[in-house]
Amino acid sequence: MTKIEGKKKRKFPKINSLTFLYLALLSFVFIASSALSLSRYKEEPLVLSEKIEPASFAPIPVLSDTVSFPVLSAQAALAVDIDSGTALYEKNPDSPLLPASTTKIVTALVAMEHFSPEDIVKVGNVSIEGQKMGLVKGEEIRVDDLLYGLLIYSANDAAEVFAQNYPGGREAFITVMNLKAQELGLENSNFKNPTGLDGEGHKSTARDLVRVAEVAMRDSRFAEVVATKEKQVTSLDGLIVHRLTNLNELVGEVDGVLGVKTGWTKYARENLVTYVERNGHRVMIALMGSQDRFGETKELIEWIFGNYEWEEISYP
């Protein structure tokens, strides 16, 4: 028995000469247009979809063959070309260390997500050690002004006021800081306070700091604040004046440096996260546990731009 025996035969419609001519013409048009399309792709480069991130096709930094590497006192360091994601220099980038006030990058991200720039917060009891901008109990101040104290003057009292005014208070704020760290993939970071003061279990890494700073710099408010050299802010009634100076000595002094955040405690030593734009390239650097954060960061910046060449990628 053949395969079609025992099965109902299918009936096919009859095709008249006019229908046949139409189908033939349609097939010819399809084949011709396909051939034309293929020949065009051979002559012209493909236009990349706007959905593809430009960073995926960024120039690749290539290090000189004869270069000698800087010797840094920092316990950990990482420099990354942001557009290509290439590590330009690294030293123990995943070692958990005390982040000190670089913690305030995360503090700022949580604060900016919850508060609007024009929101008014009230200062409560802020008995806190370390760097302070001089907030007074009962003082009311705009959130945007408080951000300057937090980020350029590294004010611990500013960090605590943000935490106090968060729904659920200080502990809720710290919980959200750690949730933000998880969201951003900061695998070796954990925060016990909003200021960066040393504490058991309060830690981060050079890699995590580079990551969070890169995300923070995408926010125009954050980027504007950390690039500011000096700022005077006042209480809402104008009676209390806070004169703030950026503690990052490289801002305005080293070509292309536009922030980001300093950090220091006795046990953390000197920390510094730095964003640089130079010659059309963007670099983020994190140093932790340094004996000379500004000098070593400056040395690293000049070494990077003096020894790397960015090569364009050609596509077939």
Nearest-angstrom CA–CA distance, 186 and 188: 6
Answer whether residue 32 is part of any domain: no
Answer whether residue 171 is part of any domain: yes
> What range defines the domain where residue 158 resides?
55-309
Answer whether residue 282 is part of any domain: yes
Q: Is the pLDDT of residue 140 over 80?
A: yes
The per-residue pLDDT for 41 is 28
Residue with more model confidence, 6 or 84: 84
Q: Is the pLDDT of residue 214 over 70?
A: yes
Give the mean pLDDT of 4-27.
45
Q: Is the pLDDT of residue 34 over 90?
A: no
Answer whether residue 236 is part of any domain: yes
Q: What is the mean pLDDT of the chain?
A: 85
Confidence band (pLDDT; 50, 70, 90) for 31?
very low
Report the relative pairing of strands 257-265 and 269-278 from DSSP bridges. Answer: antiparallel
* C-beta of residue 287 within 8 angstroms of C-beta of residue 297: yes
The values of phi and psi at residue 125, to 5°, are -75, 115
The per-residue pLDDT for 38 is 33
Q: Lowest-pLDDT range, 34-38, 169-173, 256-260, 299-303?
A: 34-38
Q: What is the CATH number of the domain that holds 141?
A: 3.40.710.10
Q: Is the pLDDT of residue 45 over 80?
A: no
Answer whether residue 246 is part of any domain: yes
Tokens, residue 164: 């106090």
Nearest-angstrom CA–CA distance, 95 and 180: 20
The per-residue pLDDT for 67 is 80
- Report the percent of the chain where pLDDT is more than 90: 76
Give the mean pLDDT of 82-100.
96
Confidence band (pLDDT; 50, 70, 90) for 56?
low
Place of tokens 């002559």: 43
The per-residue pLDDT for 126 is 85
Answer whether residue 143 is part of any domain: yes
Q: Is the pLDDT of residue 309 over 60?
A: yes
* C-beta of residue 155 within 8 angstroms of C-beta of residue 246: no
Instruction: Tell me how many domains the chain contains.
Output: 1
Confidence band (pLDDT; 50, 70, 90) for 64?
confident
Nearest-angstrom CA–CA distance, 203 and 122: 29
* C-beta of residue 40 within 8 angstroms of C-beta of residue 264: no
Q: Lowest-pLDDT range, 24-38, 224-238, 299-313?
A: 24-38
Confidence band (pLDDT; 50, 70, 90) for 33?
very low
The per-residue pLDDT for 28 is 46
Confidence band (pLDDT; 50, 70, 90) for 26?
very low
Going by C-alpha positions, the residue among 230, 233, 219, 313 that lies closest to residue 275 is: 219
Confidence band (pLDDT; 50, 70, 90) for 17?
low
The per-residue pLDDT for 25 is 47
Answer whether residue 204 is part of any domain: yes
**Could you report the per-residue pLDDT of 240-281, keeping only the tens digit for each?**
999 999 999 999 999 999 999 999 999 999 999 999 999 999
The per-residue pLDDT for 90 is 96
Place of tokens 């010797």: 71
Residue type, 132: K
pTM of the model: 0.81
Answer whether residue 229 is part of any domain: yes
